[in-house]
Structure 1
Amino acid sequence: MDFIKRFIRQNWIMLCAFIIPVALMGGYFAYRSMAPFGSSSILTVDLGQQYIDFYSYFRSTVLSHPDTFFYSFSKDLGGDMVGIFSYYLMSPLNLIILFFPGKTLSVGVLVITLMKYGLAGYSFAWLLQKTKLQAGFRILAFSTSYAMMGWIIANQLNVIWLDVLYLLPPVIWGLIKLVNENKPWVYIIWFSILLVINYYMAWMVAIFTILFMIWQLNDRSLGFKTSFKRFLKYIGSSVLSVLFACALLLPTLYALMQSKGTYTETAVKFKFEYFPFKMLGKLITGSFNFKEMPSGQPNIFVGMLMLMAFLLYFVDRRFHWRPRLASFAITLFILLSFCLQPLDLLWHAGQFPVWYPYRFSFVFSFWVLWMAAHVLTPNFRIGWKKVIPLAIIIIAIHIYLKLNMSSFSYITDSQLLISIGFSFVGIVWLCIPRYYSPFLYDGLFVMLATFEMATNAYTSLNNISYVSQSDFGDYTTELDKAVNKIKKSDSGFYRIGKTFMRTKDDTMQADYDGGSHFGSTLEPSIPSFYGSIGEPDGDGFVAYTNGTQVTDSLLGMKYFMTARPTTSILGQTTSSILPATSNKPDLNRENIKSEDSLTQTYRNKNALSIAFAASDKIKSLKSNTSDPVAWQSKIYQALAGDKSNKSLFEVQNFDHVTFNNVQTSKKITGTVFSKQNLLEPAYVKLTFVPKTNESYYLTFGANLTSDVASYYLNGKKLTQYPTFRNTVIINVASKQKGKPVTITFKMKQQTMWLQNVSLYKLDQSHFDKLKTTLKSSPLKINYHSNTKITGTIDVKKQHQLLMTTIPYSKGWHVKVDGKNVKTTKVINTFLSVPISKGHHKVELYYRSPWLIAGIIVSVVSIGSAIIFTLYQHKRRTKNRG
């Protein structure tokens, strides 16, 4: 107990620096009833739609199968995971997640978020103590302002970025030691750690360290020669940090070159992205709302008092003119970076952010608080010659914002009044001499800063809505239950599809192999393939929601989970907790594998193995059509060596078309329909009667979004994943011979283009014949993991290859009968290898490209650094002796 008391007594300021932001934000989370405090959750936008699933994946990787650190079939059809981990999951605080399984995962994310708030405050307080810029409990004003800056409030949902706030201060301390003491190791170690934890934020910090070094060298009287040497040592230290982290950085770089790096901007325009004065709106409390997420200005709020202290630095004659001039130049550069396109791209590594603009604005907030800490020292004095211009600037800012409130959706009159109030109290505090009552003066300082930051946090976050805990927890529980039933009955390798979805990363949430994914390291060939076969796709996502019998078979979708509608006490059908995203009458053809009150699981008897013998005609198959139905048929027929020129799908006519409040037309597809009476409902209803029990599919183009029309199948709302940029295929009937089927397009706008609206029937006998051929020579798997698959195959024909539905990557290596075989890419998507007729043993294994090279570089660099350091130490010891 004595030790604890002594520790608290000696470190109470640092503990408070941690506790204050945790208490303030914890209180807010409790106020918003976020689990475990109530029925809501901390999940919103990307945190609820992406990161939470990655955290679940992190748990399964650490606790169950570490090989998924390198590769996973939970990522769309299979993909490298090093890039995912290095961008999303390398924070050491993620280990907290291990204690929060299933539906409690959201609570774990809340705990991690609070920890990052607390560590940010602790880290900045530590830096101020180390540099002796501030002392006593007045440090808490700066640490709280730092930990709760506008950037972290706006990006709280991007919890993966928040580690940078507690890592930036030790990096800066390392730079200070490098310049002042010629000791680079603190900087090297902490910058290496930052590179490993989040290379993306490290890039922004790297740019800022250049600016900070320029300021430091102007702030110290070292002379040109010494300054130049220190700057060169800084460059060398930065390079060494990169070499230390190469074990992770090199494979990550390769992954980026295959995915996100392909979207780097090559055409840059020298222009302002908006009127720069719009940034002034971000100086007001509560200057954030949902509209600011996709686009807006940089989040730079640190409080009016800290802003005023920052402005005073430039006219404070306690500091030499050189560092003040350097500081002004650096400030101008960062401010220009917030609105000038080339500089904005520089900070974002050559890519415009998709949502969450100006992600580097945390460096400006640090810069403002760092300068403010230089100004607001115990011996600070201010005269009227400085107070009056300062007051005029603050008043001018508020007048400008009041006159232009229509341009700021996040500013209200009450917010302006609150900001004016804080500004007035801040100016009064600046004018009061500290020597009358230092304790009361410092206490008021801490209270003012803390209250202003808390007001900003609460006001800003009140503009954001959150996912309820039940929506996340109940869905996750039911998904896990359904997946675990499949796993218990089948330990083989297969993919699972479903007709419901919470997120596109459900596969990672429940740890199964599927076909959907949303992530920044998605290889472009995968969306391209999905779009070509009629599945929803985008630059960063794919969703396997529109499978036909053909694609379900080809991609090995062995099981399908569907949601059963729940029934109320009154017997009325209500929506399930499992939101439907597709319609799949094809499941009428399959047997139910398992079921419970909310789900049914079907077994797809047509599913192919992950690898199988196929005709080598597939190597020469090129896409010459934008019709996904035709392309599916060409792929399947080429694989089976089908000599028939007849497509698997036959075009069908509608038996009847009903036009309501639109012009009539003999042609449906490609016609633009217009409302005749703008005030009356308008729709086009297509009717057909299946003449067989075969599967029927409807296609429609990307123009037919949910903004243009509502879709109905047999009078019920047709569930379809809403985001798609290519023609999609929808299953509308199966085993429904003689039963009329109606498809209705209800217009939401004045016009509606029925783009690529066509009806097709699958030739079931033709499909079954080809499927039987492809299933005749499967790879019989005797071992499988995410990075290794072994098995045997009996190839019964000549001119065959081993076809896989593993996305092609240079990381995959194949041995046939113990000999390495060169891999090839077919249909610009999948891995294949040549194989001869006969019985063969096959081994496929994955090794992340550049991983071995990266490890070698890191080991050699670290080893050499240790040897060199020991040699220098021994030499110095010898010289002293």
Structure 2
Amino acid sequence: MLEEIMTKNKTNKFMLMGAAGLLSILIMIAVMAINHVTPFGNRNLLASDVGAQYSPFLTMLQHMLKTHTLSLYSFNVGIGSNLVALISYYLMSPFNLLLIFFKSSQVPIFITLVIILKIGLSAVAMNYFLQRHFETQSWATVLFANAYSLCGFVATNYFNLMWLDSLIWLPLIITGVDQLYRNRKFGMLFGWLSVSIITNYYLGYMTCIFVGLYAVYLVFANREETQSIKSTLKNAWSFIGKVLQIGILSALTSMVVLLPTALEMFKTAKVNTNQNLPWNQFGLDILTQLGMGGTNFNSHLVHAPTIYSSLFVALLVLFYFVHPAISRIYKRTALVMLLVLLLTMWITPLNLVWHMLQEPVGFPFRNVFFYSFFAVMLAFQVWQAGIRQITGKWRWLIPGGLIAALSVGFVAAKWGPKLTDGGIPIENVDTLVKLTINCGYVVVLTIVLFWLSKRVAQVVLVGMVAGELFANFYSGMHGFQFGNQANYERQYQKETMQFQPVANTSNLVRAISKNRNINVALQRYRNYNDSALFNFSDVSSYTSTLTVQDIDLLNNFGAYVRNARRVSNMGLVNPMSAILGAKYNVTTKGAVHRIPEYQGTGMTVPVAFTKVSGKQPFISDNLNDIMTSLDNKNTKFIMLPKVIDQVTDLKTRSRYHYQHVERIKINRTGKLYLDAQSYGINYGRTTVNGKPLYNFRKGTRRFYLIGHFRKGQTVIVKTRARDRTNKRIRFVMLNNQNIRKTLKQHPSAVIRKVGNDSHLQFKIKANSGQYYYLPIPIDSGWHATVNGKSVELKSVLGGLTAVPLTSGTNQVKLAYQAPGIKAGLLLSLLGLIGFGWLEFRNRKRS
């Protein structure tokens, strides 16, 4: 009999978990189908970071998995990149292994399906937690699990699919904390916390903070009413200490990923925080997030914390504090926990602690799902205690208070002070309509909770809450810039064929691509990561793991740097491209042309070349220094035409208040370039012979082709600058014939890849004292041998690589090993050993 009961309970447990996951999946399918998102329609989710970063990187990973060329280094990201940080930041989700079942052109379909799958599994995990934490198998666990899996954080950030894994692990981790508190077993906490940190170290770090807060909450919520704080902490020190131990061991076990990732991320530009940030992060506009439609895609970069987890949950959380069956100690502790979670988002320094002391660039309050988790937990506790035990006056006062809060929030968002970050307001289309719907919903919900029969109320609640979660998610997708999946597949196949001549082969060769065919299928796509998408080597990149060295290096060569995460090949002239190892130019329509200056990837160079800093203020000076170091004759490589400058001070408030009219006399037929330093000119106010110049961001460093002119022509450039002398810009013409001739004098080798991008080898003849210049970023992970003997690589041109050669034939081999990976593996083993020792001691004591 007992065995039958246990079997039945186990069946009910899994049925409830399955129902929770299925309901989330059905709601998500409905949302995607109504929005015609692939595979339920012809739209895809390739907007924002999904199109710019996740899709290209997932496609790159898929290619590596299918061709068995998985590597920790790739020339398909920027000018060459250690992939450990990129993989751990974007690609560590175990669900990405499902990519092998899709074609490259179907990656957008995979993205939709994996988002739905992760949200469904979040509901399963939350349902498991609720059953274990409250020791119940109530049907209501299905409803509350969905309030978590479809909370405001998910409805706003679902397309940041790398974050969704953390919502699956969180309920399992907190179940582990409960297990440690109740019966001193810590295997579950250790295992799932380690998984959380490894699969997404960023949200894994936040999860560790929340685990600490939750452990303290457990201690104080379960203390005796008369027990002092000091006594409580003393009695619970063993538990808190064990939580700290497990947290440290989990972090230690994750070091095989964390350490090499940290060493690489320290090289990025994310080291300084804006000192002028406001002390508070949001205002009363946060109250809009209690209800449906508080935010959508138009405000996804700047908004108040998305604390939504259904109005049903919000109402029950308020009832929590007046419920007669819930003790005062529980109420006080819960209130403190909620306030801590809210205040640490509101107060800027504390919010920065959650975000690793870095101000989020868009997608703010990435820790808000912890609030939703805790709110759902409290709401379910009220449900378990019996919602109809609430006394008469509170049945209307609490809903009335929620309606008042919603009203204040929508009014504040529409007409009150806006968010402090850049003065960008929350998007609230049809504010009055949204407010009316939310308030009406609260009234109907109150009637259902208190005045319908229980059986009818249960059926109605399922429909109402599911409908509410659907409506909020659907509203959250308003303004999304969908791509066209049919066009994407067609253009992807077309571009793949066009890139075949330059696709990643067994040799290291780059192509400077301007191909824009794929753009017709997407909105606002900027092609930064096309090399990852189509499997070839370029120099452009858009990633949070871009190093400062690579940004500065490419900018000194003329590449356009938009910010600390984006660098584009726009601005690279043929000679600079050739020096960076680019053999081909790919036009906007996909035509492939060989770069005339290209003689090979790298070349033998004299000692003088290794002394060129490559850090001159003018890009043309960097080119001239490089070419002069390769030539011992006084050859001219750049020419500066005569310029007559007429200046007018417009006396405006703009920093660029000097208007310059430059008359340039062309003394040689050829191409004329504008070479502008940082803060040089306002491109939006610049014209060439009356025609507007391409409107770059004002003040950015540029090396830009103005046009092709004949000898004797006069070119008139009208522009705005910061200073009267206009010393930050110059006009340049290149002597490409002399450049080609000089480059040809320096022999090049065929750089072969051995298996993948982590291993290179080549053979070259050299004279004594020469180096082989390799256009790959200098990195301590590269180890080189020449004729079997280890050699020390030299940094040249501000961050590229030179290999010292010997007289005669040189057999050169290079191998890459991510810095810190061996030490990280050792630390991970120590973490596992430490856990094993704790587990052994625990079992021995038991």
Per the normalisation by structure 2, the TM-score is: 0.87
Whether 1:820 aligns to 2:790 is yes
Deviations along 1:745-780, whole A, 9 cap, x unmatched? 799x9x999895543211234312321233x25466
Report the counterpart of residue 645 of structure 2 in structure 1.
667
Secondary structure, in 3 states, of the residue corresponding to 2:118?
A: helix
Deviation of residue 491 (structure 1)?
A: 4.2
Match for 2:501: what amino acid?
Answer: K
Report the counterpart of residue 554 of structure 1 in structure 2.
579
Quote the Cα distance in structure 1 between the aligned partners of 2:488 and 2:687. Answer: 27
Quote the Cα distance in structure 1 between the aligned partners of 2:26 and 2:725. Answer: 55
Secondary structure, in 3 states, of the residue corresponding to 1:563?
A: coil
Report the counterpart of residue 272 of structure 1 in structure 2.
280
Match for 2:515: what amino acid?
Answer: F
Whether 1:525 aligns to 2:528 is no
Is the Cα contact below 8 Å between 2:16 and 2:137 reproduced in 1?
no
Deviation of residue 22 (structure 1)?
A: 1.6
Q: Which sits farther off after the overlay, 166-175 or 498-507?
A: 498-507
Quote the Cα distance in structure 1 between the aligned partners of 2:12 and 2:514. Answer: 59
- Residues 684/418 of structure 1: CA separation in 2 closer, same or farther (3 Å cut): farther
Aligned residue among 727, 730, 736 for 2:704: 730
Quote the Cα distance in structure 2 between the aligned partners of 1:65 and 1:696. Answer: 47
Report the counterpart of residue 639 of structure 2 in structure 1.
650
Report the counterpart of residue 202 of structure 1 in structure 2.
204
Report the counterpart of residue 612 of structure 2 in structure 1.
621
Is the Cα contact below 8 Å between 1:156 and 1:162 reproduced in 2?
yes
- Residues 168/285 of structure 1: CA separation in 2 closer, same or farther (3 Å cut): same
Deviation of residue 712 (structure 1)?
A: 7.4
Deviation of residue 345 (structure 1)?
A: 0.4
- Residues 393/712 of structure 1: CA separation in 2 closer, same or farther (3 Å cut): farther
Aligned residue among 81, 104, 107 for 1:105: 107
- Residues 733/326 of structure 1: CA separation in 2 closer, same or farther (3 Å cut): same
Report the counterpart of residue 496 of structure 1 in structure 2.
511
- 1:686-725 pair list within 5 angstroms: 691-692=668-669, 694-700=670-676, 708-709=684-685, 722=696
Aligned residue among 350, 353, 358 for 2:360: 353
Is the Cα contact below 8 Å between 2:322 and 2:390 reproduced in 1?
no
Q: Cα RMSD over matched residues?
A: 3.3
Quote the Cα distance in structure 2 between the aligned partners of 1:813 and 1:374. Answer: 59
Deviation of residue 214 (structure 1)?
A: 0.8
Aligned residue among 464, 468, 474 for 1:458: 474
Is the Cα contact below 8 Å between 1:382 and 1:431 reproduced in 2?
no
Report the counterpart of residue 369 of structure 2 in structure 1.
362
Match for 1:809: what amino acid?
Answer: D
> Which runs of no fewer than 5 residues in structure 1 stay unpaired?
565-598, 655-665, 676-681
- Residues 7/744 of structure 1: CA separation in 2 closer, same or farther (3 Å cut): farther
Aligned residue among 49, 59, 64 for 2:62: 59
- Residues 33/231 of structure 1: CA separation in 2 closer, same or farther (3 Å cut): same
Quote the Cα distance in structure 2 between the aligned partners of 1:673 and 1:36. Answer: 57
Deviation of residue 253 (structure 1)?
A: 1.3
Secondary structure, in 3 states, of the residue corresponding to 1:841?
A: strand
Match for 2:127: what amino acid?
Answer: A
Deviation of residue 536 (structure 1)?
A: 0.9
Is the Cα contact below 8 Å between 1:782 and 1:791 reproduced in 2?
no
Report the counterpart of residue 142 of structure 1 in structure 2.
144
Match for 2:645: what amino acid?
Answer: K
Aligned residue among 570, 582, 593 for 1:545: 570
Deviation of residue 53 (structure 1)?
A: 0.5
Deviations along 1:447-497, whole A, 9 cap, x unmatched? 222111111111221232222225533432222111223349x64220111
Report the counterpart of residue 340 of structure 1 in structure 2.
347
Is the Cα contact below 8 Å between 1:727 and 1:756 reproduced in 2?
no
Quote the Cα distance in structure 2 between the aligned partners of 1:371 and 1:686. Answer: 73
Deviation of residue 781 (structure 1)?
A: 4.1
Aligned residue among 153, 156, 162 for 1:160: 162
- Residues 550/871 of structure 1: CA separation in 2 closer, same or farther (3 Å cut): same
Secondary structure, in 3 states, of the residue corresponding to 2:757?
A: coil
Q: Percent identity?
A: 21
Deviation of residue 140 (structure 1)?
A: 2.2
Deviation of residue 400 (structure 1)?
A: 1.8
Report the counterpart of residue 484 of structure 2 in structure 1.
468
Quote the Cα distance in structure 1 between the aligned partners of 2:364 and 2:119. Answer: 21
Deviations along 1:623-663, whole A, 9 cap, x unmatched? 5631111122213333x15453x652111247xxxxxxxxx
Aligned residue among 822, 827, 839 for 1:857: 827
Secondary structure, in 3 states, of the residue corresponding to 2:771?
A: strand
Deviation of residue 543 (structure 1)?
A: 0.7
Match for 2:249: what amino acid?
Answer: L
Quote the Cα distance in structure 1 between the aligned partners of 2:716 and 2:42. Answer: 39
> Which runs of no fewer than 5 residues in structure 2 stay unpaired?
1-7, 225-231, 417-425, 517-525, 653-658
Report the counterpart of residue 745 of structure 2 in structure 1.
773
Is the Cα contact below 8 Å between 2:503 and 2:537 reproduced in 1?
no
Report the counterpart of residue 247 of structure 1 in structure 2.
256
- Residues 783/447 of structure 1: CA separation in 2 closer, same or farther (3 Å cut): closer
Report the counterpart of residue 5 of structure 2 in structure 1.
none
Report the counterpart of residue 410 of structure 1 in structure 2.
428
- 1:168-179 pair list within 5 angstroms: 168-179=170-181
Is the Cα contact below 8 Å between 2:295 and 2:303 reproduced in 1?
no
Deviations along 1:295-348, whole A, 9 cap, x unmatched? 221111112221121122233343333332222222112111222110110000
Deviation of residue 547 (structure 1)?
A: 1.4
Quote the Cα distance in structure 2 between the aligned partners of 1:551 and 1:510. Answer: 23
Is the Cα contact below 8 Å between 1:49 and 1:504 reproduced in 2?
yes
Quote the Cα distance in structure 2 between the aligned partners of 1:477 and 1:754. Answer: 48
Match for 1:509: what amino acid?
Answer: L
Quote the Cα distance in structure 2 between the aligned partners of 1:67 and 1:368. Answer: 42
Match for 1:144: what amino acid?
Answer: N
- Residues 753/180 of structure 1: CA separation in 2 closer, same or farther (3 Å cut): farther
Secondary structure, in 3 states, of the residue corresponding to 2:773?
A: strand
Deviation of residue 787 (structure 1)?
A: 0.6
Quote the Cα distance in structure 1 between the aligned partners of 2:276 and 2:329. Answer: 33
- Residues 829/279 of structure 1: CA separation in 2 closer, same or farther (3 Å cut): same
Aligned residue among 753, 762, 776 for 2:734: 762
- 1:601-620 pair list within 5 angstroms: 601-620=592-611
Secondary structure, in 3 states, of the residue corresponding to 2:587?
A: strand
Q: How many residues align?
A: 803
Is the Cα contact below 8 Å between 2:197 and 2:204 reproduced in 1?
yes
Report the counterpart of residue 485 of structure 1 in structure 2.
501
Secondary structure, in 3 states, of the residue corresponding to 2:302?
A: coil
Quote the Cα distance in structure 2 between the aligned partners of 1:195 and 1:91. Answer: 11
Secondary structure, in 3 states, of the residue corresponding to 2:779?
A: coil
Quote the Cα distance in structure 2 between the aligned partners of 1:232 and 1:650. Answer: 71
- Residues 743/394 of structure 1: CA separation in 2 closer, same or farther (3 Å cut): farther
- Residues 710/52 of structure 1: CA separation in 2 closer, same or farther (3 Å cut): farther
Report the counterpart of residue 523 of structure 2 in structure 1.
none
Report the counterpart of residue 788 of structure 1 in structure 2.
759
Is the Cα contact below 8 Å between 1:703 and 1:755 reproduced in 2?
no
Report the counterpart of residue 424 of structure 1 in structure 2.
443
Deviations along 1:265-320, whole A, 9 cap, x unmatched? 3858782234x322112223111134422322111111222112112223334333
Deviation of residue 121 (structure 1)?
A: 1.3
Report the counterpart of residue 844 of structure 1 in structure 2.
814
Match for 2:700: what amino acid?
Answer: N
Secondary structure, in 3 states, of the residue corresponding to 1:484?
A: coil
Quote the Cα distance in structure 2 between the aligned partners of 1:487 and 1:525. Answer: 26
- Residues 390/643 of structure 1: CA separation in 2 closer, same or farther (3 Å cut): farther
